[in-house]
Amino acid sequence: MSFVLDSSVALAWALPDESNPILDPLADRLSTELVVAPPVWPLEIGNVLLVAVRRGRLTVRDMSRLVREFRALPVEIDDASTEESLNDTLSLAKKYDLTTYDASYLELAKRRDMPLATLDSKLRKTCLSAKVLVLPT
């Protein structure tokens, strides 16, 4: 089954101190299923990596390697999230008291009728309210 990938899951795969074996089956699905993310996804990944360097959790070399690895992941960036769905994203952000960034993941999952893979506890709870399947279960 295809799914929407939140940055929290992808970063847990990559950052050694955030490793979580419950996420391994999702990583395995990357090679066989369609995985999509909104346009904010690479920026969120980059921001977390940059902050990790600033805080001494990663070296610049580690960050560069991880950027290459993230760019190589078979994740489709859904451009319609910005072009066609901004109003829906804003409505969801308002309705569920989310950031527009988090709401963009929810909007994409709802529009594409896909589960959302996230570790964010607020977004996970919101998915339940919005009748969006959340991964990992």
Give the number of residues written for the chain.
Answer: 137
pLDDT at 137: 87
What burial class does residue 51 get, using C-beta atoms within 10 Å of its C-beta: 0-12 exposed, 13-18 middle, 19+ buried? exposed
- Token pair listed for 120: 């964010």
* Percent of all residues in the chain with a pLDDT value above 90, rounded to a whole number: 86
Beta strands in 60-101 (DSSP E): 75-77
Q: pTM here?
A: 0.93
* Percent of all residues in the chain with a pLDDT value above 70, rounded to a whole number: 100
- 3-135 to CATH, choices 2.60.40.10, 3.90.209.20, 3.40.50.1010, 3.40.190.10: 3.40.50.1010
pLDDT at 80: 82
Asked whether the predicted pLDDT for residue 51 surpasses 80, the reply is yes
Beta strands in the chain (DSSP E): 3-5, 35-37, 75-77, 116-117, 134-135
* Tens-digit pLDDT profile for residues 63-118: 999 999 999 999 999 988 777 788 999 999 999 999 999 999 999 999 999 999 99
Q: 106: closest CA among 56, 37, 47, 42?
A: 37
**Dihedral pair phi/psi, residue 129, rounded to 5°:** -65, -35
CA atoms of 46 and 55, how far apart (whole Å)? 14
CA atoms of 23 and 118, how far apart (whole Å)? 10
